[in-house]
Amino acid sequence: MDRISGLADELLVKILSSVPTKLAVSTSSWMWVPKLEYEITGYKPKPALRAFIDKNMPLHKAPVIESFHLKCSFKSFQPEDINHWLGIAVSLYVRELSIEYRSFSYDPDVLLPSSLYTCESLVTLKLKGMIVVDVPRMVSLPSLKTLHLRDVRYVNEDSLRLLLSYCPVLEDLVIEVDGTENVKAIVVIVPSLQRLSLQIGSGCSSDGYVIVTPSLKYFKVEDDRDQFSYLIEDMPKLEEADINVYDDLQRLFEAITSVKCLSLHRFFNSEEESVYRSGIVFRQLEHLKLCICTDYWSKLLVRLLKDSPILRVLNLYVDASYDPSLEQYERISWDNKQSSVPKCLLKSLETFEFVGYRGRPEERDFLSFMFKNAKCLKSTSILR
């Protein structure tokens, strides 16, 4: 650090902003650095570091804190310490806050300062761990575009919906829940939202979710539960969807017919049940990625091919745990009649990839059907 101490202050601050905070503090200019990052591992108290942050944060000279990142555990710092530092960061017009706090179930959670909910400078907020979201009466987050809430706790079941309602320009939202969140329903009604990721664990107490996001371009949902309810309104601007659920697909499909790139990792269907209702057409779908994980995967694939008239890229991959018995093989059949050939095979499909091919009867039948009818293929890859 001595070699660069003679540089101009503006250049020095720019350099120090790109190195870890623990290195930047060794220079006299670090108090001007607009990026602060503290990562404390282990479970031993850190009184010296606590005293250092307590002393220096109120004296920080940067006109704006570009980012304040803190990753720690209960034994490292007390919740009231973190609350205090967040309040200071807000007073210094912080633009990006990222807090990860881990503790045991019997330890106190971090309560966010009320000033955070009226921080006009805040653009990015990322919270993870034992942090309480308690939305006060006065809320205004006019600049917030990115919000990530991972395993946080809500003071009541309406806290999440209320918080989102005061984020008028929110574009990127990540929600992860798994059982300790105190939220009955995940309600996302955000007209400005462009990216939404939901990860819902099997222990989640929520009985469903409501999604109203007319501007959404990217949608990812991973739900480990086998029974839940949801209401999803049409997403007319959707470009990419990543679906990983155990539930039936029909209601999801009805909302994402405008999608251009679709990935399906898990799904439920059987020989007796229809895959999804007729009339659902993916007129803009160009790229389809499908996991082979049930006995009747081909039934869903045929429907998707028929309902995707301009499909250009098809990726299939076999789930490592999928291993049907011989009896199941005998019950599976592939309809390879010429009359059932999907339009996209004849007119648009250019790229085909099959990963995890094991030479099973249905897989061989499908490949025979593909190579006989796919008239526009330019690239093919089959990997075991």
Domains of the chain and CATH, by start: 238-384 (3.80.10)
pLDDT tens digits in sequence order for the chain, 384 residues long: 455 555 555 655 565 555 565 555 555 556 677 888 888 766 666 777 788 888 878 887 888 899 999 988 877 788 888 899 999 999 999 999 999 998 776 667 889 999 999 999 999 999 999 899 999 988 999 999 999 999 998 888 888 999 999 999 999 999 998 876 677 788 999 999 999 999 988 767 667 789 999 999 999 999 877 666 778 999 999 999 999 887 667 888 999 999 999 999 866 555 545 578 889 999 999 999 998 877 778 888 888 999 999 999 999 998 877 666 544 544 445 554 445 789 999 999 999 999 988 887 888 888 888 999 999 999 999 988
Are the beta carbons of 235 and 213 closer than 8 angstroms? Answer: yes
| Rounded-to-5 percentages of helix, strand, coil across the chain | 25, 25, 50
How far apart CA 50 and CA 193 sit, in angstroms, is 38
pTM of the model: 0.87
Which tokens is 40 given?
């404390």
Instruction: Measure Cα distances from 29 to 11, 87, 302, 324 in Å.
Output: 11, 23, 64, 65
Are the beta carbons of 72 and 38 closer than 8 angstroms? Answer: yes
